Amino acid sequence: SFDVAMIFVGSMVNRYGDFNTEIENAIILRYLQKEHSKPSALNIFNQLLPKNISGTPSTIQNYNWDPSLSLEPAANKELAKNRISGSTKNTTNKENNIFSKLNSSLPMPISTPIPLTPANLPKQEELPAQRSSAFSMIMVLGKNKTKGAQSLLLNGPQFGWFAPSYLYSVGLHGAGFDLVGNTPFAYPAILFGHNADIAWGSTWGGGDLIDIYAEKLHPQNKEKYLFQGSYVNLEKRALSIKVKNRNDYRFYTYRSVHGPIIKRSYTRNIAYAKKRSWEGREISTLLHWIESTKAKEYTAWEKSTAHQALNINMFYSDKHGNIGYVFGGKYPVRHANHDNRLPVYNPKHDWLGMQPFESNPSVYNPKNGYLINWNNRPAKGVLNPDVFWFSWSKADRVNFLHKEITSKERFTAEELWQTLEKSSFADPNISYFIPHLQKAMQYTRNKDLHRLAQAIFDWDGARRDSDEQGFYDSPGLAVFQIFMAALVDYSLKDDLGKVAYSFFSATGYATPQHPYSSSINLPVGVKAIIERLENPAGQRYDFFNGEPASLVLLKALQKTWRFGKKKYGSKIQDWQLETVPLLFRTKNFLGIPQNSKNNEVKLPVAMNRGSGNILVVFTKTGVEGYEVIPPGQSGFIASNGKKAKHYADQLSLYKTFQKKRMWLHEQDVSEHTESKQVLYYEIQ
C-alpha cells in the first residue's frame, strides 16, 4: 500500500502540485535590472509575469462567481503602481529594498542538488530548460447545450506521450464500486471515468500552492538558521540509496520550519525552503479522490472534492443533465505585501493560515450551459501561476474551444467529439496576429511582403499533412512560423538582454528532431507581445520601444523574407515546412528509460490533444462511455521482443479520431470478455 501511495504522490503530487520557479523569477528580475533602471526592470517583469490581468477567459463566467470570495491577498502596491508605458515614475523606497534584497541574497547556482558543499557548487549559473507548459483540456455540456443527450463530458488529460502509455483502462465492480474509466499507471483512484449516475474528469489548475522561503544561515554553522530572532537547528535526516555494483550513495536532507531545503548559497548564507500547502494532505487527497468516484449526485461528489489539496480543476456531469466544477486545492492566506512570484525574504511574511474550501471557485449548472477548460484561469480573482513558463492572459488557446462551442446552440455527442479534431490541429497563435497583420499591410507597397502576408491569410490555421509526405499542407504555416520567431526576437531580445531573453524566447513550435513532449500552448513571451498589440495603452513597459505596432510587424516580415528566401527560395509556394511527428517516448517524465528506444512508436503529425481522450454520454436511457488511450492498453514485451496484442492497437484509433466503448454493465462486460483470471487470497 505504501508503494501504491508513493506512485500517486511522486507522479501526481510532486509532478503537478509542486511547480515553482520563484528563484528563477528572481534571477530574471535581477538580470533585467542589469539592463535597465530598477523601475523599468520591474515594469518589464510585471509585463511578462503579471500577478493578475483583466479580461482573461475563465472557466467560470463572472456572472456565476463573486471574486470577493477568493481570499486573494491585497495586491502588492509597490509592484503594481507603474502601469504607464516605459514609466520610471512613482518608484518607492520599498521597491528599491526588493532589489537590494535580491542582489544581496540571490543564489548564483539555481539548480544544484542536495547535499550541497562548497566543492560541488557549479561555477556558473545554469539556465533551466524551457518546460512544457501545456496540459489537459475538457468540455462539459449540460442538458440545455446538448442534442440527444442529457449531458456530455469530453476530457483530454495530458501526461505526455509515452510507450507504454501512462494511462490504462479499468473497470471496478465490487466493494462499493461500479465504474469504468482510465487513470495513470497503478493509481487506485480512477481519475477519468463514470459510473451509472455521474461522470468526472479533470485538468491541471495552475493555482499557486507553493512558496519559497529564504532562511538566513548562521555565519559559522550552516546547519542553523535564523527563526523568530534566534538561530535554531535545521532538521537533518540521513538517507542512503543502494546502487548496483557500487557503494551506497549516502547523503543528508534538511528542513526548516517552512519545509525541505531545496537550494543553498553558502556565499550568501541563505538556504531556500519550499513551503507546500498540500504537505501532509497527500493521502487524504488520494482517498477522497477514490471516494468521489462512488458518488451518485453532485453534493456527495463536491463533498469529496473539498478534501482535494492539489491545484486540480475537477469537473462533473450526471444522468439528469447537471454539470459542475470545483477549483481544487488548499490555498494559503498570504501577507498583503507578499509577492507570490518571488522568494520570501521578510520573516514577517509567513502564511496567515489556509483559505476555507468555500473560497475556491465553483459552479453548479452555469447559466451558459457548459464548462470549458484548457488550463486557463478558473475564475476572476485567482492569482496567476508563479512559474516563468506559464501564465494566464487574454490570449489563450481555450478561446478556440469557446468559439467552437458557441458556434451552435446544441451539440450531439459526435459533434462534440468532432471539435476535438479541429482543436488538435489548430495553431494556437495565428488568430491573434491576423487582424494586426492585415492592418500593417496598408502601410507598405512591398510586393514580397504582401506575398508573405497573403500566404499567411490563405492558410486556414490548421497544422496538417493531408498526403503524409512529410511536409505541412500550407506554405503559410512556414511563413508564419518564421515570422513568429522574427517577431519575438525583434520585440523582446533588446529589452530583456541575453540571459532573461533565454527564458522567454520560445514561440511554441517544436522541430522534427525535437518533437513536442506534450500539447501546444501560447508561450509567455508571445502572450506579452499579444498584450502589447491588443492593449498598448495599458502596458507597464513598451516592448516596441515607441514604434507603431504595424512597423514592428513589417520589420518582422522583412526578416522573414530574408531568412525564408535564403532557405527555401523566392517562390513562396516552395516554402514547405517539415512535419513534426507525434513521438511516444520510452523515457519517462523524469528522463529515466522505461523501455528500450527501439520500441518507440510515433504518428506522422503532432496533435494538440490529451495523452488519451474519454467521452461520457448520458441519455435518458442510460450512459455510454468511450475512450482512446494510445499506443495501447498493454506495455508488455516478451523476452524474445514480441509485443503484446494490445501494445499499440489504439494508435490507428487515435490517429483517425476514433474511439472504443467502455463497458460498464455486467452483461456488456461478459459479452466482450477476451480472457478471465480469478485471483484467490487468504486472510492470515
For residue range 502-537, list pLDDT tens digits in order.
999 999 999 999 999 888 899 999 999 999 999 999
Q: Tell me which residue of 337, 411, 504 sits closest to 143, measured CA to CA.
A: 411
Cα 596 off chain centre by: 28
Give the 3-state secondary structure of residue 567. Answer: helix
Confidence (pLDDT) at 97? 41
For residue range 115-140, list pLDDT tens digits in order.
322 222 222 233 333 444 558 999 99
304: exposed, middle or buried (C-beta count within 10 Å: 0-12, 13-18, 19+)?
buried
Q: Is the pLDDT of residue 112 over 80?
A: no
Confidence (pLDDT) at 102? 37
For residue range 224-234, list pLDDT tens digits in order.
999 999 999 99
Question: For every residue of 479-492, which 3-state class applies, written as one string?
Answer: HHHHHHHHHHHHHH
CA distance 204 to 181: 18
CA distance 60 to 75: 22
Contact assessment for residue 186 and residue 7, using Cβ atoms and an 8 Å cutoff: yes
CA distance 374 to 205: 9
Q: Tell me which residue of 401, 391, 392 sits closest to 371, measured CA to CA.
A: 401
> What residue has cell string 455527442?
413
Active site residue 136: yes
Q: Tell me which residue of 98, 62, 56 sits closest to 77, measured CA to CA.
A: 98
Q: Is the pLDDT of residue 108 over 70?
A: no
Whether the bond between 385 and the residue before it is cis, its omega within 30 degrees of 0, is: no
- Quickly count: other Cβ atoms within 10 Å of residue 325's Cβ: 26
CA distance 126 to 110: 6
- Note the maximum CA span of the chain: 87
In angstroms, the Cα distances linking 322 to 296, 314, 332, 618, 619 are 12, 14, 31, 10, 12
CA distance 383 to 395: 17
* Residue 318, all three cell numbers: 450526471
CA distance 480 to 495: 23
For residue range 50-106, list pLDDT tens digits in order.
988 888 999 999 888 887 776 554 433 333 333 222 222 233 333 334 333 433 333
| Of 108 and 288, more confident | 288
Confidence (pLDDT) at 18? 92
Q: Which of 133, 136, 169, 202 is catalytic?
A: 136
